[in-house]
Structures are given as C-alpha cells and as structure tokens.
C-alpha cells in the first residue's frame, strides 16, 4: 500500500476491486474539467451556425450524464455508485469549449472517475457533432479540479 491507500492488487499481484464495505458512506463530490480546441470553422458552427447533427450542447450534456452512469462498465476496477446529481457546464473560450462536470452523492467511495469520464465523453461528443466543420480539433487538459469527502480529504487543483 502507498500512502495508506487500499491496493487494487491481491497478495499474489492479481487485479481486484478494493473492498469498501467497511467505509462509512458520506457526502462526496468531484468536479472535472477539460477543453476541446475547435478551430475557426468548428467554433463558428458551435457559436451559432447551423449544425446538421442538431443541438451540440444538449447532445454533449446528455452524453456526459449517460457516461457518468456507465463508469463501472467502462473502467474495470471502479465501483458502482449511487449518483445523486450530475451537472455539465459548457462555455466557449475563444476557439475552445471548456466543459465542467460535477458529480455528487452519498457513498463509500468518491466520484472522481465519474466526473473525468463525463468531461471526456462530452468533449468526444462535441468532436463528433462538429467533425463536418473540421477534423483538426484537439481535446486538452482533462483533469480533476476538485473533490470533497472521503478518507483522503478534500482536493483542489492548483497550477
């Protein structure tokens, strides 16, 4: 074990899911953020031009929420958690779209992977919705911004 963290390896070195049954459920929250650089053409479509695939922002938000709910099926050692709330914010910053995903609930384990997955899938959805306007987009800087609760305590990204 490193820094008191439970190991994802058993005594023989085989992968396992960490046992969280002895942990006390408590309020937890995680916020992740990432961005996609669109380029001029795609940024023009995102900021109001016609999109043949429909409402880009709505599709990205829904995709993020669905992804948050499916994390245990995507990331092998993640626990199934009870999610109380998911919010997804999208804002245009020059030629970038910045996505922020906040996940919260009362659980035995945190929501970091859910928030990170939500951001990643939202950004991939934006790429998919805008690839007709230019394929030179780049997903950047996906990171955990904040988390609260749990044995490891609170965390806030500091540059």
Residues 110-140: tens digit of each pLDDT: 999 999 999 999 999 999 999 999 999 999 9
- List the catalytic residue out of 3, 96, 128, 154: 128
- pLDDT for 87: 98
pLDDT in tens, 30-62: 999 999 999 999 999 999 866 888 999 999 999
pLDDT of residue 49: 66
Establish if 27 belongs to a structural domain.
no
The arithmetic mean of pLDDT across residues 83-88, rounded, is: 98
Residue 9 is assigned to a structural domain of this protein: no
Q: Report yes or no on 10 lying in a domain.
A: no
CATH code, 57: 3.30.70.640
φ, ψ of residue 129 in degrees (nearest 5):
-70, -25
Tell me, yes or no, whether 143 lies in a domain. Answer: yes
Kindly state the average pLDDT of the residues 77-103: 97
93 part of the active site: no
Q: What is the pLDDT of residue 15?
A: 81
At residue 2, the pLDDT reads: 43
What tokens were used for 67?
Answer: 């992804």
Number of domains in the chain: 1
- Whether 5 is covered by a domain: the verdict is no
Q: How many CA atoms lie within 13 A of 155 on its CB side?
A: 18
The verdict on pTM exceeding 0.75 is yes
**Would residue 24 count as lying in a domain?**
no
Name the residue range of residue 128's domain.
33-156
Those residues with Cβ within 8 angstroms of residue 86's Cβ, 6 or more apart along the chain or in another chain: 64, 65, 68, 101, 102, 103, 114, 118
Token output for 109: 């384990």
The runs of H, that is alpha helices, within 24-152 are 40-46, 56-69, 71-74, 112-130
Residue 5: band (very low, low, confident or very high) from pLDDT cuts 50, 70, 90: low
Residue 67 covered by a domain = yes
19 pLDDT more than 90 = no
Q: Is the pLDDT of residue 151 over 90?
A: no
- Whether residue 11 lies inside any domain: the answer is no
């Amino acid at each position: 074990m490193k820094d008191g963290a439970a190991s994802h390896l058993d005594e023989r070195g085989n992968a396992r899911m960490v046992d969280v049954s002895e942990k006390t459920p408590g309020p937890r929250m995680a916020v992740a953020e990432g961005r996609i650089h669109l380029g001029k053409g795609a940024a023009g479509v995102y900021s109001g031009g016609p999109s043949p695939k429909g409402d880009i922002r709505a599709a990205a938000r829904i995709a993020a929420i669905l992804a948050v709910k499916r994390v245990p099926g995507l990331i092998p050692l993640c626990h199934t958690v009870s999610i109380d709330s998911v919010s997804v914010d999208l804002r245009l910053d020059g030629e970038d779209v910045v996505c922020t995903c906040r996940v919260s609930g009362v659980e035995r384990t945190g929501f970091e992977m859910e928030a990170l997955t939500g951001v990643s899938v939202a950004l991939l959805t934006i790429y998919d919705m805008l690839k007709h306007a230019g394929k030179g987009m780049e997903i950047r800087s996906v990171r955990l911004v904040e988390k609260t609760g749990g044995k490891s305590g609170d965390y806030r990204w500091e540059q």
